[in-house]
Each structure stands twice: as C-alpha cells, then as structure tokens.
Amino acid sequence: MEQSGLSSRVGASLLAVVVGLATVPPVGAVEPVVGTIQVSGAAWVASSSTDWSRLSSTRPLVAGDRLRTGSDGYLLADLGDAGVVGLYGNAEVATTSAGSGPVVEVQKGKVAFHLSPNSRMKLNAQGTGIASGTMAADGYVEYDANGTPVVVVEDGALNVRTASGATKTLSRGDRLALGGPKAPAPVQIAQAEDDSSRKAGAVAGE
C-alpha cells in the first residue's frame, strides 16, 4: 500500500511538471515567418536582437527582419499569396506583422511591389499606408533627391492613407509624393512629363 501511494504521488508530481512546462511560453520565441528571401549581389539582414549580417542564400523572411541592399544588390521577398517586394540597390526596409498581415516599411531607396487583390500585406513610407483594393497593383516606392518618398502605380490600383487619415485612390500611371500632412492630388506620369517639356521649352525660348 505504501509503495502504491508513493507511485501515485510521483505520478501526480510528474503530471504537474508537464502541465507547468506546457503553459510557460518558450524563451526567445521567434516572430512568424511571412515569406522567403532571395538575393543577388550584396544584401544584409538584421533584427531587433541581431546585428547586420550578409545574406548569401535563400532564407525565410521573418516579421521583424530589417533588409538592405548594397549598390550592386537586389533582394526579392516573396510573401506568397499576399504579394512580392523587390529591393533595388541601396534600398532598405523593415518588416513587422500586424493583426491583419505583414507590413513593409520602406525607409530608403527604390522598392518595387506586387500586391494581390485585397492583399494582407501593406506598405508604409513616412507614415503613409499603401494597400491594394479589389484589383491587384504593381508599382514602386522611391525616395527622391529631397528624401521624399514617391509612389508610382504601374498597373492596377492602390489605396493610399496618410497619417492624418486623408485617403486617395491611385490608378495606373499615377504618381504621388508621400509623407506630408495632407494627401496631394495624384499626378499622371505623362502629364508630369508634358509639364516638364513645356517648362524646358519656355526656358529655351527666353
């Protein structure tokens, strides 16, 4: 009887330990994997807990990763059915995971994107959010010489929301400077080129 009681107590103790371990969150739990990364040329990755390290092969894209490319580098981040992001040379982004899906913060250089219809992925640049609607969208965000991010829609349509809450819908050919307190009117690329030509002609005729 005594031996049976001891066995019961040991069994109960082991069960308590197992239940306790199961309810304790793992130390250093990793962020969710949101896609894969492929690189060509010089590219680096860092996170809140790791310094910059050179990327040389395909690896998972984890929420919280910061990515940057050298002058000769190109990086492709494939986020599955959400879309694709491509970093040209001397570009930098930071990734996070919001409740609805991954967020890519464009911080430097030129970053191209493909967003699926109603994509879970969002892009941000200086407080302005970029998302797709019912249509797929192709385009890029690029910082100009003044450090202002500009979004260009090459195909489809985008919804742009500024930090102040102003919204704009951009269509194919639209170009919009981001980062200001108000949402300026989008400018068609062809119109901008015509305006530049007229200004050049006026200067030449003086």
The lowest-confidence range among 24-38, 159-173, 185-199 is 185-199
Q: Which residues pair with 115 in a beta bridge?
A: 83, 137
The lowest-confidence range among 21-35, 47-61, 74-88, 116-130 is 21-35
pLDDT, averaged across the chain: 81
Please give the structure tokens belonging to residue 178. 């981001």
Could you tell me which residues come within 8 angstroms of residue 150 by beta carbon, excluding any fewer than 6 positions away?
Answer: 141, 142, 143, 144, 175, 176, 177, 178
The lowest-confidence range among 33-42, 59-68, 76-85, 189-198 is 189-198
pLDDT of 9: 43
Per-residue pLDDT tens digits for 108-157 = 999 999 999 999 999 999 999 999 999 999 999 999 999 999 999 999 99
Altogether, the residues listed in the chain come to a count of: 206
pTM, two decimal places: 0.75
The letter for the amino acid at 73 is G
Q: Identify the CA nearest to 63 among candidates 118, 105, 125, 116.
A: 105
Tell which phi-psi region holds residue 90, choosing left (phi > 0), alpha (psi between -120 and 50) or beta: left
The letter for the amino acid at 92 is E
